[in-house]
Chain A
């Protein structure tokens, strides 16, 4: 049996995760995939405003966001979450299809831990979830400093 690289297993049954995807069927898809990974406490959002209200009110152990079509507002939300509140250190994965060229830099630099491109393989997404679960002392790298011209620069991996 193949296990994680150190031979360990994982149990996400009590981990709380929030998923945002404006496409209802893709929301179902991601929900099913995460359920396959063992997540049971899944909060599903197809509306950005609902997701924003929810992550400001409650702590989650993992957040998966597709910013489309609220791109800029979603990036602002992630920056806000990194500043204060319940989810300053919560792993955040952006899951995105085609990103508008003008938003590529913001997608990389808004303070998310990683950007996962659609389509993704089951193994690829699981690897990324396990990778972010292992990260430590990354908060300062996730805070995206704002330049005088308003541009945001960050240090998180792409």
Chain B
């Protein structure tokens, strides 16, 4: 049997702030959060460019160290977050594909520098999404998905 003090300890502590006096509406909260997001837009764009520059530098290594592979995943992971938060869904998808690719290749113990390069080239183009048509962006993203499915899904005997 749960004792009263134990029951109190298991109460959801966040619940008491719902309907608390002086509160705000959901719409007001979303608007304030959106305004806050805009305040760091410039820094976020710089972070996106920094991620791309790091990925470019890392993908020149034909046989990167485990640390470099981890760093590629980390930079891709950061890139997908910021690109997605700031209305660059195709760049976000491309960065996610890069992460999937790196993850799969690390898991299977193989590496394709070419597949990484293809991702970098596409992400570099998608950095300025308005320079491309919707069809061009879709074609790039679809191509990356195919690369990741093909390279990431290769059986271990193709280890490089």
Hey, what's the 0/1 contact readout for A88-115 against B, CB within 8 Å counting as 1? 1111000001101110000000000000
Q: Is the CB of A37 closer than 8 A to any CB of chain B?
A: yes
Residues of B within 8 A of A (CB): 9-15, 17-37, 39-40, 43-44, 47, 70, 73-74, 76-78, 80-85, 92, 96, 99-100, 103-104, 107
Closest 10 CB pairs of A and B: A119-B84, A36-B33, A9-B23, A32-B36, A98-B99, A36-B32, A11-B23, A11-B20, A118-B81, A133-B14
Given A36-B32, A91-B12, A118-B85, A61 contacting B26 (CB threshold 8 A): no
Q: Is the CB of A149 closer than 8 A to any CB of chain B?
A: no
Show 14 residue pairs from A and B whose CB-CB distance is below 8 angstroms, ordered by the A residue. A3-B25, A9-B23, A10-B18, A10-B29, A29-B44, A34-B33, A38-B23, A38-B29, A68-B74, A88-B9, A90-B14, A100-B107, A126-B30, A134-B15
Tell me, in angstroms, the Cα distance from A12 to B102 when the chains sit together: 40
**Chain B nearest CB, measured from A69 CB (Å):** 6
Contact residue among A68, A101, A125, A136 (Cβ-Cβ distance under 8 Å from B12): A136
Q: Which residues of B contact A3 (CB under 8 A)?
A: 25-27
Residues of A within 8 A of B (CB): 1-4, 8-15, 23, 25-26, 28-29, 32-38, 59-62, 68-69, 88-91, 97-98, 100-102, 118-120, 122-123, 125-126, 129-130, 132-136, 138-139
Q: Which residues of A contact B77 (CB under 8 A)?
A: 68, 97-98
Interface of chain A, helix or strand or loop or mixed? loop
Q: Which residues of B contact A2 (CB under 8 A)?
A: 25-27
On whether the beta carbons of B37 and A10 are closer than 8 Å, the reply is no
Q: Which residues of A contact B21 (CB under 8 A)?
A: 11
- A39 to B, closest residue via Cβ: B17
On whether the beta carbons of B81 and A8 are closer than 8 Å, the reply is no
Tell me, in angstroms, the Cα distance from A94 to B18 when the chains sit together: 21
Tell me, in angstroms, the Cα distance from A138 to B14 when the chains sit together: 13
Residue of A8, A26, A29 contacting most chain B CB atoms (<10 Å): A29
On whether the beta carbons of B10 and A36 are closer than 8 Å, the reply is no
Contact residue among A10, A123, A126, A132 (Cβ-Cβ distance under 8 Å from B20): A10
- Known pairs A14-B17, A35-B33, A125-B33. 18 more at Cβ < 8 A? A3-B26, A10-B20, A10-B24, A11-B24, A13-B22, A23-B78, A26-B81, A32-B33, A36-B29, A60-B13, A88-B10, A91-B12, A98-B80, A98-B99, A101-B107, A119-B92, A126-B33, A133-B18
Given A3-B27, A25-B40, A15 contacting B104 (CB threshold 8 A): no
Tell me, in angstroms, the Cα distance from A130 to B15 when the chains sit together: 9
Q: Which residues of B contact A90 (CB under 8 A)?
A: 13-14
On whether the beta carbons of A100 and B103 are closer than 8 Å, the reply is yes
Tell me, in angstroms, the Cα distance from A134 to B80 when the chains sit together: 31
